[in-house]
Amino acid sequence: METWDAITSRRNVRQFDARTISDADLDRILEAGRRAPSARNRQPWDFVLVTDRAQLGELSKVWRGAGHVADAAAAVALVTADSDDERSRSVAQYDLGQCTMQMLIAAADLGIASGHASVDDQDQARRVLGLPQDRIAVYILDFGYPADRRLKPIVNPDRRPFDEVVHRGRF
Amino acid sequence: METWDAITSRRNVRQFDARTISDADLDRILEAGRRAPSARNRQPWDFVLVTDRAQLGELSKVWRGAGHVADAAAAVALVTADSDDERSRSVAQYDLGQCTMQMLIAAADLGIASGHASVDDQDQARRVLGLPQDRIAVYILDFGYPADRRLKPIVNPDRRPFDEVVHRGRF
């Protein structure tokens, strides 16, 4: 798919149909994440791929807003080192955001929709994903084919107007 | 360009040639940023586009590692609300990362290279960009045509191995 079509087709989806995602497509999404840029190329991330239905159900309990993960075809937990240093945490968040977007665009390119979930209950995440004590799951991305309509370019996205967001030269 | 080619062609560039970027291409990059997803669709960002050579020079002084901004064809300052709340700051960082990646992929799709710079001297950023006191510039993205070789898909990126980063089912 053309890049611009992938960028403009991506939307947050919370209801997926019953189709699974091929291993090749999952690997491509993960590869996109692996290639993301990060400060000093530190790559402060590990990805845990979950496709087992029962495990997806358990994973959906990490946050009250994560119910949609239970019905996804696959989820990727973004895992990073737990840190006491706010500056490190902040940079890692930015880099995880970059990594996320790379995966979501790669998915949209394949007609695969996606959603995000926060992680509130780290103990649950640690149990379900087998994380070491020094790691935390920061976000869960979930993927699948949309239950309603297939992805296609959105002409008028629900966003602040261009001329409000964009300033030329000075704020 | 095909999405996968844009994703795999993007690389951090710090030396740009003298070509400017067309207004249409700059607007497309900014539009990609505007469309990025964010927690509760809060869109915690404003973009300040800088293309004036003298202003780019002043902007490059916001951090010791930002020298490359001086020679870019254009820069986009990512501006957000200053906040006392760490949770809000953290979520905004993640969302700014998503927004960044949308812009960098949209740029790569047009053959335009990009780089990132942190902002250390907020007073300088405020002066150069005319920011209100309640806003900070979090990152500067800079864009241009690479001085060395044009963007093309990278086969073996300098990243941790796929099988080290990707865990299946459990960490």
Residue with tokens 């991506």: A10
Using DSSP, state whether A14 is helix, strand or coil.
Answer: coil
pLDDT tens sequence across B6-59? 999 999 999 999 999 999 999 999 999 999 999 999 999 999 999 999 999 999
* Residue numbers in A near B100 (CB within 8 A): 94, 97-98, 101
User: How confident is the model at residue B141, as a pLDDT?
Assistant: 98
At A81 the three-state DSSP class reads strand
B128-146 pLDDT tens trace: 999 999 999 999 999 999 9
Spans of all domains in chain B: 3-165
pLDDT for residue A170: 98
Report the chain A residue with the minimal C-alpha distance to residue B5.
A3
- Strand B46-50 versus strand A166-168 pairing type: parallel
Mutate to test the interface with A, among B1, B2, B3 (most CBs of A within 10 A): B3
State CA B34 to chain mean position distance: 13
Q: Which CATH class is domain B3-165?
A: alpha beta
Residue B170 pLDDT grade (very low, low, confident, very high; cuts 50, 70, 90):
very high
Which of A99, A106, A159 is the closest to B34 by Cβ? Answer: A159
Give the 3-state secondary structure of residue B46: strand
Chain B residues lying within 8 Å of A36, measured CB to CB: 101
pLDDT at A49: 98
C-alpha B171/C-alpha A140 separation (Å) is 14
- Strand-strand pairing, B113-118 and B166-168: unpaired
Q: Confirm or reject CATH 3.40.720.10 for domain A3-146, answering yes or no.
A: no
Q: What CA–CA distance (Å, rounded) separates B80 from B95?
A: 11
- Tokens found for residue B146: 């690479």
Task: Answer whether B3 sits within 8 Å of A106, measured CB to CB.
Answer: yes
Q: What is the predicted pLDDT for the residue at A43? A: 98
pLDDT in tens, B89-109: 999 999 999 999 999 999 999
Q: How far apart are the first and last CA of chain A?
A: 35
Contact check, Cβ <8 Å, B93/A93: yes
Give tens-digit pLDDT for A90-115. 999 999 999 999 999 999 999 999 99
Q: What are phi and psi of A103, to 5 degrees?
A: -65, -40
The confidence score (pLDDT) of residue A63 equals: 97
| A89 → closest Cβ in B1, B2, B90 | B90
Q: Maximum distance among all alpha carbons in chain B?
A: 53
Calculate the average pLDDT of chain B.
97
Mean pLDDT within A127-141:
97
- Would you give the DSSP letter of residue A110? T
B135 and A171 in contact by Cβ < 8 A? yes
Q: Look at A66-70, A85-89, A124-128, B143-147 and tell me which has the smallest mean pLDDT.
A: A85-89
